[in-house]
Amino acid sequence: MNTSKTIQSKKSQILDKQKKYLWPNHLLYYTEPLPLERGDGMYVWDVEGKKYLDFFGGILTTSVGHNRPEVTRAVQEQTEKMIHSSTLYPNETHVNLAKKMAELAPGKLQVSYFTPSGTDADETAVFLAKGHTGNQEIIALRHGYSGRSAIGMSLTGQSPWRIGGTHILGIKHALNPYCYRCPFKMTYPSCGVACAQDVEDTIKTTTSGRIAAFIAEPIQGVGGFIVPPPEYFKIVKEIVESYEGLFIADEVQTGFGRTGDKWFGIEHWGVEPDIMTMAKSIANGFPLANTITTPEIAESTRCAGLTISTFGGNPVSCAASLATMEVLEKEATPQHNARVGNMLRNGLEKMKEKYSFIGDVRGMGMMQGLELVKDRAGKEPCTEATAQLFEATRELGLLIGKGGMYGNVIRISPPMTATEEDVAVALDLLEKALGKVRV
Ligand SMILES: Cc1ncc(COP(=O)(O)O)c(C=O)c1O
The stretch 243-271 carries a mean pLDDT of: 98
Beta strand pairing call for 358-364 and 137-141: unpaired
> Which pLDDT band, with edges at 50, 70 and 90, does 303 fall under?
confident
> From residue 67, how far is each of 72, 286, 289, 363, 418 by CA, in Å?
6, 12, 20, 27, 14
Q: Kindly state if the Cβ of 122 falls inside 6 Å of ligand 1.
A: yes
At 28, is the pLDDT very low, low, confident or very high (cuts 50, 70, 90)? Answer: very high
C-beta of residue 67 within 8 angstroms of C-beta of residue 40: yes
Residues 81-94: pLDDT tens digits?
999 999 999 999 99
Contact in structure between 390 and 382 (CB atoms under 8 Å): no
Q: Which residues does residue 238 pair with via DSSP β-bridges, in sequence order?
A: none
Share of the chain above pLDDT 70, in %: 98
Q: Would you say the CB of residue 140 lies under 6 angstroms from ligand 1?
A: no
The band of 4, judged by pLDDT with boundaries at 50, 70 and 90, is: low
Q: Give the DSSP letter string of 231-280.
A: THHHHHHHHHHHTT-EEEEE-TTTTTTTTSSSSSGGGGGT---SEEEE-G
pLDDT reported for residue 426: 98
The neighbouring-strand residues paired with 38 are 45
Q: What is the mean pLDDT of the chain?
A: 96
Q: Is the CB of residue 221 below 6 angstroms from any atom belonging to ligand 1?
A: yes
Integer angstrom CA distances of residue 179 from 175, 191, 360 = 11, 10, 10
Does ligand 1 have an atom closer than 6 angstroms to the CB of 60?
no
How many angstroms is it from 389 CA to the middle of ligand 1? 25
Kindly report the CA angle at 311 between 310 and 317, in degrees rounded to 5?
Answer: 155
Q: Which amino acid is at 138?
A: I
Give the integer Cα–Cα distance in Å for 171 and 155.
7
Half-sphere exposure of 144 (CA within 13 A, CB side): 32
pLDDT for 312: 94
Specify the pLDDT at position 140: 98
Residue 299 Cα, ligand 1 centroid: separation in angstroms?
26
> Does 25 score more than 70 pLDDT?
yes
Whether 223 and 176 have beta carbons less than 8 Å apart is answered as: yes
Question: Which ligand 1 atom is at minimum distance from the Cα of 221?
Answer: 16
Distance from the alpha carbon of residue 171 to the mean position of ligand 1, in angstroms? 18
- Does ligand 1 have an atom closer than 6 angstroms to the CB of 126? no
How many whole angstroms from 327 Cα to the centroid of ligand 1?
23
* Pick from 162-166, 354-358, 435-439: least confident: 162-166
pTM over 0.85: yes
Ligand 1 touching residue 286 (CB < 6 A): no
User: What are the Cα distances from residue 158, in Å, to 41, 142, 173, 212?
Assistant: 33, 7, 10, 22
User: With 0-12 CB in 10 A as exposed, 13-18 as middle and 19+ as buried, what is 113?
Assistant: buried
Q: For the chain, how are helix, strand and coil distributed in percent, rounded to 5?
A: 40, 15, 40
Residue type, 216: A
Whether ligand 1 lies within 6 angstroms of the CB of 337 is answered as no
Phi, psi dihedrals of residue 171, rounded to the nearest 5°: -110, 120
For the chain, domains (ranges, CATH) are 3-63+333-434 (3.90.1150.10), 70-331 (3.40.640.10)
- Longest CA–CA span in the chain (Å) reads 73
Q: Ligand 1 mean position to 390 CA, how many Å?
A: 23
Q: Is residue 248 in contact with ligand 1, taking CB distance under 6 Å?
A: no
pLDDT at 2 over 70: no
Quick one: CA dihedral 267, 311, 67, 48, positive or negative? negative
Q: How far is the CA of 365 from the centre of ligand 1 (A)?
A: 19
pLDDT by residue (tens digit) across 390-405? 999 999 999 999 999 9
